[in-house]
Chains A and B, each alone.
Chain A
């Protein structure tokens, strides 16, 4: 898009960039409303009584805020060691900021405690792709390729609501006769326009994928030549799929045998074909294995690396891809290097000018870190940036309690989010149109974010805050707040890594409308399509990994007889910190609605628009019912953009990716009398600042 400064605000127009081709969703169209929103944090805020988070917040100078933060960090590290201070980042940070934050934790704080909200997003697919393909790039091809595929399977993906501009490629494919198969327990807007809609019981996607592979093997639809030439480990997967015969899979998933067969027939025989997963498949306590099951199917059908074919995961967070590549993760160094790899440590330490031995070892994953907050060996002083975990993490009542257990909490945000309101110090930060930097989209295309107007006078970019705090902690010489200088350093740090940015510069990004990584040198054209020749694994082959269905961590029972699955609405984004403040979006969707099948509603005497209470073993939420026959009658859907849904969700973690089981937990449902308010708090009702 193009932004032109105007008094008093900016004018926003969609730009015909090659990815969105001029399309913007409601959130994009209204994004400028955030720039001068009355809720905007314009100065640092501190508690009136230091140490008492019940006391009111008051405006403060940066000096005072820094002084309190540095005192807290120093005190904690002296008493409890370096790991007692941690950072929690977000997928909305630019590459420069994500990189600098990872470096800040390890170099300025010398702490292993850093992770970010992407752990709650696409970590399962990332883990599966890393172990199977040797690389985690959301899509191994440009988004535009989707329009060229003849068959596209979308598993737990609802781009029509969650990523509308991408729908133009799906729509173009459909217009040309492509067949789309949508797997979702709800008949979403994406499913509505698809050739087939499969509605499995939440938590059974893995069985569905294995069942489809079973049929493909039985029918001779697998690509033996590809399997022999480009992969390894198929025998074990083949043996595993023997236990997923169609009748069994039908009973487990609820997807009719005939549909299973037709879906895999289309993928196998009406190519080029793609399998795309998203959070619906991935946010489970077996999310990594589920993503793997789809990858296995894609590999067995010989899709990966072929033109207009393959496997991908759709990620939507502003910098969901770049944010997970450059060291914001507990176990990671820039360039998608592993923190426990001595060679990687040596390389990055050399770029940073420190002794590799100084680098901490891998720390705890996001929810594990949260779960240990305030404990003796956990984090006691936490800095949260660009994340609202009091709404977005699972089992939020526990999360809020853990945040309260901290000795000191710092939150950087543009608005007083639910998380920020628990903080000792809130730091106002620059937002999207007020800063320079780069982001990496789901295609692995590194793109520029440009400053259209300066931030308000007392507001600082996170990069500046990181640099100034590092200075106050005596490590200032390692940091700079000049975005391009940070990017230049990132290039060197990522050089030779999996996500290699070495050949990418601001000038090239401008000139080429983005550059696809890996791009190892300035003469390299970038890599729009991966895997054509080989896979970046030790053997150069893609690895099959045997995966088996495991029941979700929590199954419905007599007390909590239904499945709750959470997800997104078109008008809202993430925890709603931004979008719940945009008038146009709130007019369109003012409150969360629990989607309930009319048959289930009738059982409980619920009419459309009634208030209902959802209860799980962890909490309760009251929200308004929306009856829809597009959802399974044993499943309730609730959006997570408001406080509420995540009071219910189960923090059981995937053993590989540490992804919480957002998509399945057991709930009870009841109608509550009119007059009880939505338990979601709207920004207006929030604590006075």
Chain B
């Protein structure tokens, strides 16, 4: 059966409650009474209206049309004088009475007027120029009056007073805020925060603030001319705005015999105590001893009331609200919630105070949840703190994260921070580690990495991340894609094409290659060494050397040091030497006062600090061939003691190492080639981590490992083959080295090349001759071996006149190109 519902009060609580009842399809005929002749407007937006942030249309929550649309009888501007509980009627000021089955009292509250002399005018309520700040009419009047005047005083330094003061500044130039307490917003802020706020209000907004200011008198006969404080101070002004707090409108209710203490006493269902059919909601209601003056609690109450009165949820209970407020003053950030001071020793208090910036933050944490917070000067964390407070969220261990955005949400994931197993391409399940592996193996182009891993080949979303990872793993820029497949950057051809062209046109010098194969014929300095190496490999002794195609090391056959001097490493095959050789080295070192004599990792002796012009003389005195400790070439073969002396040795590694070095000494290639032969799997010569390493195993057999490294990059070599004889080792070594020389890109070490090509493929070609090119490889390497000349013999006839002339002082050293 449809019941008659009467609502006294058409403000934010009353109208909202009706909305909630309608939303629950409550079966009522509804009659509402409101003191003000309007629909329901948003009272808390009045300060925005005053400040011109909103217009009037923007503050109506329910315009008059809404009541009509929903079949509500609204008596706007009709005041209820009495409730007749026995007759279940309400009696209005005009004498009419309206019966109800259910009654909701939402009379709200009124602005409280402090007892100040002269505040009232006996004839017209407030004295002329004095305004309360509570209603739309108050606000309109204030705006009209303020426009024509200059100076305003606001009495009350709470939220509303501050917003009023700021709003008045829109209309007049001089605003003073008087506050009876020791600091502003004392209900929401502690003393320190209040003072910080005061400083901001004074400095940023130009509002004068007087605290501990008891206003005793409003001055002016016909209209306001000033105010007088208890200490005798007089402040001249034209407008006085009262924002000193609110008092619930309960007199009529109390007079009607309903229980009223500070407010109308209600239970958890928002029913008035002892009443079956009368509810109260909003600022007039006293729930569990508390009065609420903020909108959020009012609207929480409205939901419970609606649940109960409509029977939607008769168990619904209002148990109180958590309070939080923000100051709506542009440029002044203030937020407060919950406790403003700790209440027990167990309360955790976190304070951040930066007076110079006007920033103050305080948190109170109890039992692991946020119990209160004050923010002044920085509201950036207000939203998350309010959520945390309202919802008792779990808190971060680092409490500072509550106060500041530390790091914040990662915009872009930094490759550095990603774990290796982090999935980059979800489409094809490619991890960061897999991408880095490919990059480390030498593929440094995004497209190359994508081809090899399939990363980014699905949806493509991860492409930017793949690019970042490739760049990061490559230690800077990823290489340009088109050039990626080129053997050298200056000639736009991949290696096989380039070699074919070189053969076709019989290009035997670096400059010939540039002239023929580069559109425009530009000689790219960075490409010269790679081309020289390639041409030398292809043409052996037919190669036409052009010395400027060489790096300084290659030009002077020594390794340039950081002070511009060179190192001289004489050949010492297999690391085996003789007393005579040692004596000669010693004598040379003494004669030329070599600053440092050092054993190298490759089992040789290094004479360091040789000036360039002394090189030929030293080489002559040494009379030992070059050890090639500088070029992109065959370097050395490291060996262990082998079977002659070692108790464990199973193969004569020393002899084999010497034989290998003897054969392949000086062989140039795309990258340096470091070899080793070790006499047993104990691996004293570290053969597992060489470009080519030979390991003697039981039964007179030898294992050949390729593609190992132990430099900046560490990689265990892949087993190429196990063979029966030293001869077979030498044959496969030659074939492998030649295959590498012909197919690897410039500066591509075997540790990158072998995994790129794949050990299976290499084995098929080198060991099993799957492509039928083994004899070609053998012939080519034989030709290269035959073309060997000891470069240190150049001392007699310098290849160029200035070859060994001093070029010191060398300030900027050429960067040795490396492919990591």
Contact = CB atoms under 8 A, between A and B. Distances in A.
B386 A250 contact: yes
Given A254-B383, A587-B429, A247 B326 contact: yes
Contact of B58 (A164, A193, A217, A602): A217
A256 B459 contact: no
B429 A26 contact: yes
Nearest to B391: A634
A571 B428 CA distance: 10
Contacts of B295: 248
A243 B394 contact: no
B45 interface: yes
A140 to B, nearest CB: 24
Interface in B374-414: 379-380, 382-384, 386-388, 390-397, 409-413
A600 B394 contact: yes
A427 B387 CA distance: 51
Contacts of A171: 460-461, 463-464
B383 A588 contact: no
Contacts of B409: 187, 191-192, 197, 630
Contacts of B38: none
A349 interface: no
A218 B393 contact: no
B386 A254 contact: yes
B394 A602 contact: yes
Contacts of B458: 23-26, 28-29, 164-165
A256 B382 CA distance: 7
B552 interface: no
A528 interface: no
Contacts of A250: 326, 382-383, 386
A192 B410 contact: yes
A540 B320 CA distance: 49
B66 interface: yes
Nearest to B44: A245
A503 to B, nearest CB: 33
Interface residues of B, number: 54
A257 B382 CA distance: 9
Contact of B63 (A189, A239, A245): A239
Interface string A517-555: 000000000000000000000000000000010110000
Nearest to B429: A588
Interface in B155-197: none
B318 to A, nearest CB: 14
Interface string A213-244: 01001100000000000000000001100110
A588 B424 CA distance: 12
Interface string B449-489: 00000000011110110000000000000000000000000
B390 A164 contact: no
A251 B460 contact: no
Given A171-B464, A242-B42, A550 B423 contact: no
A259 B458 CA distance: 34
Interface string A594-618: 0001111011000000000000000
A581 B338 CA distance: 52
Nearest to A251: B386
B390 to A, nearest CB: 7
B394 A571 contact: no
Interface in A152-199: 160-161, 164-165, 167-168, 171, 187, 189, 191-193, 197
A250 B391 CA distance: 14
B62 interface: yes
Interface in B1-44: 19, 23, 42, 44
A193 B426 CA distance: 16
A168 B460 contact: yes
Contacts of B326: 247, 250
B393 A634 contact: yes
A548 B23 contact: yes
A167 B395 CA distance: 35
Centre residue among A247, A556, A603 by max chain B CB count within 10 A? A247
B722 to A, nearest CB: 35
Nearest to B384: A254
A224 to B, nearest CB: 13
A242 B58 contact: yes
In this complex, the interface size class of chain A, counting residues with CB under 8 Å from chain B, is 35 or more
Contacts of B199: none
Contacts of B45: 242, 245
A25 B427 contact: yes
Contacts of B463: 171
Nearest to A217: B58
Nearest to A584: B429
Given A164-B459, A218-B53, A630-B409, A26 B427 contact: yes
Given A242-B58, A254-B383, A164 B42 contact: no
A551 B61 CA distance: 19
Contacts of A561: 392
Nearest to B398: A599
Contacts of B460: 23, 165, 167-168, 171
B48 to A, nearest CB: 8
B814 interface: no
Contacts of B426: 25-26, 161, 164, 570-571, 588
Contacts of B296: 248, 251
B32 to A, nearest CB: 17
B85 to A, nearest CB: 33
Given A23-B458, A25-B459, A160-B461, A245 B42 contact: yes
Contacts of B383: 250-251, 254-257, 259
A481 B53 CA distance: 66
A476 interface: no
Contacts of B390: 251
Centre residue among B57, B368, B423, B460 by max chain A CB count within 10 A? B460
Contacts of B386: 250-251, 254
B89 to A, nearest CB: 32
A259 B408 CA distance: 14
Centre residue among B395, B427, B428, B429 by max chain A CB count within 10 A? B427
Nearest to A196: B409
Centre residue among B57, B383, B397 by max chain A CB count within 10 A? B383
Given A26-B428, A29-B427, A556 B459 contact: no
Given A171-B460, A243-B42, A218 B427 contact: no
Contacts of B303: 551
Interface string A640-668: 00000000000000000000000000000
A237 to B, nearest CB: 13
Contact of B387 (A167, A254, A603): A254
A599 B60 contact: no
Interface string B334-365: 00000000000000000000000000000000
A388 to B, nearest CB: 23
Contacts of A633: 388, 393-394
A167 B324 contact: no
B461 A164 contact: yes
A243 B12 CA distance: 10
B91 interface: no
8 contacts: A168-B460, A242-B42, A243-B61, A248-B296, A251-B383, A587-B429, A588-B429, A632-B393
Given A165-B458, A256-B383, A632-B387, 7 more contacts: A164-B426, A245-B45, A247-B328, A248-B295, A256-B379, A599-B395, A600-B394
Interface of B: 19, 23, 42, 44-45, 53-54, 57-63, 66, 295-296, 303, 324, 326, 328, 368, 379-380, 382-384, 386-388, 390-397, 409-413, 423, 426-429, 458-461, 463-464
Interface of A: 23-26, 28-29, 160-161, 164-165, 167-168, 171, 187, 189, 191-193, 197, 201, 214, 217-218, 238-239, 242-243, 245, 247-248, 250-251, 254-259, 548, 550-551, 556, 561, 570-571, 584, 587-588, 597-600, 602-603, 630, 632-634
**5 shortest interchain CB distances as A-B pairs:** A164-B459, A256-B383, A254-B387, A167-B461, A603-B394
